[in-house]
């Protein structure tokens, strides 16, 4: 059945046409008819994967839910060098760079970025696009030594499909916020060695809501309201860096840091081919650098910090104190924002410090509850003199424990063998978490004692 379905796919007929066209082209070359061969080469049939996208993703939300892998692979190839030995053409790499930059420009305009994490493999990013969470990894902009034990032909096959998918998604996302696609940007800025999103936003013809031909579309669209509602629902402060201007030093990974800063309302000044920024510029408030203090010529009135401060501030929704992130300082632990710590038995000390800064420490809430509890108990004692409240509470707790144990015993007997195994796995997982939490607490005590 599957083979019969594939035989009627439009791609099969297109491949047959291409095969016969190649035979005719070779025949013309053999006969010495060069004009005909050149004309046939210009008019050679080509195939597209548009119909596959429409078949596989009936709705736009289906395409967004499957966007993680395409973004990972496209960003990976965008960082690759072109290589003839592995058949990685330059135009494919440039197309990957173009698609990833267009998607990042949407994230900047829609303020859809939510989380970031610096790891050894690269930078993990998470965005909320029209209510759908998308997580992907972006490699660091370093020189790659391509391994020889990887089949790049298979990866290029997947890449071809993912490029078509991301182009469809970018078109729809740009349409939703009232922008033309592809964006009419200055090619000299796009292809510059010192690429900056800030330059695209300034010099782009259709990337600012102040332009007359896009302002009407943007105001009539309810996307801005939807953006604010989704940000409020997720607890994200999308105006975190508003009023701040950052200068990114040359040794930092500019593309990722620019994406973070611009997505949260800040401004970026960075060097380009035509213009080198002076760090003494009055507009600059913060200078992001990865150099040692002895190699820096610090300017008075400027805040110097390491790149981790930007990521930690974004993940926690507040501007963290700068003292621990100064150049040359040992950085605090970089906690993953993808771990839900609510209900966890172990909470790292750094997380407790951040919670205290945010005014959401668990200890404060517990103290308030403890203060309220005795007051309520005193009121009840006054109303019911001679009533043994403590004994009644102990009986309630005991009966509650007995009912829980009884329900567990009943559930294990009533459940089927398959469901009983699932329940045992859940319990085993909880026990493992408690053991891991105890081990981490013990380790923290040893480190503290040293």
Give 47-95 pLDDT, tens digit per residue: 788 888 888 899 999 999 999 999 999 999 999 988 888 889 999 998 9
CA gap 76, 274 in Å, rounded: 28
Quick count: other Cβ atoms within 10 Å of Cβ 104? 24
Which CA distances in Å does 405 have to 345, 398, 399? 22, 11, 10
Sheet holding 132-138, edge to edge: 113-118, 123-129, 132-138
Q: What is the pLDDT of residue 177?
A: 83
Give 344-389 pLDDT, tens digit per residue: 667 888 888 888 888 754 444 455 555 555 555 555 554 445 445 5
Whole-model pTM? 0.75
* First CA to last CA distance, the chain: 68
Output 403-407 pairs: Cβ under 8 A, ≥24 positions apart.
none
Return per-residue pLDDT of the chain as tens, 450 residues: 567 766 777 778 878 888 888 888 888 888 888 888 888 888 888 878 888 888 889 999 999 999 999 999 999 999 998 888 888 999 999 899 989 999 999 999 889 999 999 999 999 999 999 889 999 999 998 888 888 888 999 999 999 999 999 999 999 998 888 888 887 666 655 555 667 776 565 444 434 333 333 334 444 445 566 566 666 666 677 888 998 999 988 888 888 999 999 999 898 887 666 667 888 888 889 999 988 888 888 888 889 999 999 999 999 989 999 999 999 888 999 998 988 777 666 788 888 888 888 875 444 445 555 555 555 555 555 444 544 555 666 666 556 655 655 566 556 566 677 877 887 788 788 788 888 878 888 888 777 776
- Whether the CB-CB separation of 124 and 117 falls below 8 Å is answered with yes
CA gap 135, 35 in Å, rounded: 51
SS3 call for 150: coil
Token pair for residue 358?
A: 């945010």
Contacts of 321 (CB under 8 A, 6+ apart): 357
* DSSP letter assigned to residue 191: T
Q: What is the pLDDT of residue 435?
A: 80
Q: What is the pLDDT of residue 185?
A: 63
């Amino acid at each position: 059945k599957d083979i019969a379905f594939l035989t009627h796919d439009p791609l099969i007929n297109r491949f047959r046409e291409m095969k016969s066209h190649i035979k005719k082209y070779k025949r013309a070359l053999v006969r010495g008819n060069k004009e005909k061969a050149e004309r046939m080469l210009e008019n050679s049939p080509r195939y597209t994967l548009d119909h596959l996208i429409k078949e596989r993703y009936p709705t736009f939300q289906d395409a967004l839910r499957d966007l993680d892998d395409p973004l990972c692979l496209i960003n990976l190839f965008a960082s690759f060098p072109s290589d003839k030995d592995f058949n990685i053409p330059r135009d494919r790499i440039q197309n990957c760079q173009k698609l990833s930059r267009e998607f990042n420009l949407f994230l900047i305009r829609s303020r859809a970025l939510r989380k970031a994490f610096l790891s050894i493999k690269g930078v993990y990013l998470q965005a909320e696009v029209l209510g759908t969470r998308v997580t992907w990894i972006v490699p660091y902009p370093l020189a790659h030594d391509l391994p020889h034990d990887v089949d790049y032909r298979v990866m290029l096959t997947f890449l071809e499909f993912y490029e078509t998918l991301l182009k469809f998604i970018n078109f729809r996302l740009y349409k939703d916020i009232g922008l033309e696609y592809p964006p009419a940007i200055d090619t000299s800025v796009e292809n510059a060695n010192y690429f900056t999103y800030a330059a695209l936003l300034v010099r782009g013809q259709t990337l600012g809501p102040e332009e007359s031909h896009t302002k009407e579309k943007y105001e009539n669209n309810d996307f801005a309201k939807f953006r604010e509602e989704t940000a409020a629902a997720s607890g994200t402060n999308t105006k975190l860096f508003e009023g701040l201007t950052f200068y990114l030093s040359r040794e930092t990974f500019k593309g990722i840091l620019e994406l973070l800063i611009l997505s949260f309302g800040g401004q970026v000044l960075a060097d380009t081919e035509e213009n080198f920024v002076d760090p003494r510029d009055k507009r600059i408030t913060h200078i992001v650098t990865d150099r040692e203090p002895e190699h820096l010529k610090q300017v008075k009135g400027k805040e110097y910090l390491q790149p981790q401060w930007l990521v930690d501030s974004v993940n926690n929704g507040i501007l963290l104190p700068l003292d621990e992130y100064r150049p040359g300082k040992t950085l605090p632990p970089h906690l993953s924002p993808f771990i839900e710590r609510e209900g966890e038995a172990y909470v790292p000390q750094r997380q407790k410090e951040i919670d205290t800064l945010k005014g959401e420490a668990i200890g404060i809430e517990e103290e308030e509850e403890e203060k309220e509890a005795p007051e309520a108990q005193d009121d009840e004692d006054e109303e019911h003199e001679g009533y043994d409240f403590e004994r009644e509470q102990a009986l309630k707790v005991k009966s509650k424990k007995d009912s829980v144990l009884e329900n567990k015993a009943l559930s294990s007997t009533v459940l089927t063998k398959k469901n009983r195994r699932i329940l045992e796995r859940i319990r085993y997982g909880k026990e493992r978490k408690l053991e891991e939490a105890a081990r981490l607490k013990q380790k923290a005590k040893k480190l503290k004692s040293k």
